[in-house]
């Protein structure tokens, strides 16, 4: 009986070692199966409805989960609803990062954008497909200054720049990619156009 038990344990050990070796040989496939199981579990828990996949190139993140928090700060990621009349975004939902929040100071020096003197990025005058775009600069284009916030200033070296103190309920959003279409072109985004805050996963 002891011999039979020993043989049975040896068989089970051999079977287990075979499974471990199979896992080692098929790590990629096993990882894929694990991911599928996790995603399936998320669907089962209803979390899948909170997942957001950013298909554009404007951010270095692609998978987000919706947050129920209404408090939006600099550094947060948000989904905004672009204007249907916007010739580039055409009313699409855009995932962007908040670079300048209410109370912060936005400076536009030539084509460069800064928030509280931290560089955000530079605007271009053409999209990557060659379409002309007008950078957001309400000091140069008064029609862009719908909130009457822009002030022309001059730095210590005599260079002029545009300064805007971000008002309550407005945000300057941008992507991390140089070709991102964002507030450098369509200007400040009102809170009413922000659908939700998101938390990056990948």
Q: What is the CATH number of the domain that holds 194?
A: 2.10.109.10
Residues 75 and 129 in one domain: yes
Q: Which helix (H) or strand (E) holds 24?
A: helix 2-25
Half-sphere exposure of 193 (CA within 13 A, CB side): 22
Residues 36 and 88 in one domain: no
Asked if pLDDT for residue 47 goes beyond 60, the answer is: no
Residues 169 and 91 in one domain: yes
> How many domains does one find in the chain?
2
pLDDT tens digits, one per residue of 168-195: 999 999 999 999 999 999 999 999 999 9
Residues 41 and 56 in one domain: no
Ordered alpha helix ranges (H), 82-193? 183-186
Which residue range is the domain that position 100 belongs to? Answer: 50-200
pTM for this prediction:
0.76
């Amino acid at each position: 009986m002891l011999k039979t038990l020993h043989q049975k344990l040896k068989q089970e050990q051999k079977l287990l070692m075979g499974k471990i070796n199979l896992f080692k040989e098929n790590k990629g496939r096993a990882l894929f199966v694990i991911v599928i199981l996790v995603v399936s579990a998320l669907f089962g828990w209803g979390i899948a409805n909170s997942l957001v996949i950013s298909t554009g190139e404007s951010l270095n993140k692609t998978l987000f989960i919706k947050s129920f928090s209404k408090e939006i700060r600099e550094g947060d990621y948000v989904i905004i609803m672009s204007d249907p009349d916007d010739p580039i975004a055409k009313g699409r939902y855009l995932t962007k990062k908040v670079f300048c929040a209410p109370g912060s100071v936005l400076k536009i020096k030539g084509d460069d954008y800064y928030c509280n003197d931290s560089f955000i990025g530079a605007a271009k005058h053409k999209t990557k497909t060659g379409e002309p775009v007008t950078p957001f600069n309400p000091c140069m284009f008064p029609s862009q200054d719908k909130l009457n916030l822009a002030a022309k200033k001059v730095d210590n070296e005599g260079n002029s720049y545009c300064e805007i103190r971000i008002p309550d309920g407005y945000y300057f959003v941008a992507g991390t990619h140089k070709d991102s279409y964002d507030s450098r072109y369509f200007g400040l985004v009102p809170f009413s156009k922000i659908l939700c805050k998101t938390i990056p996963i990948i």
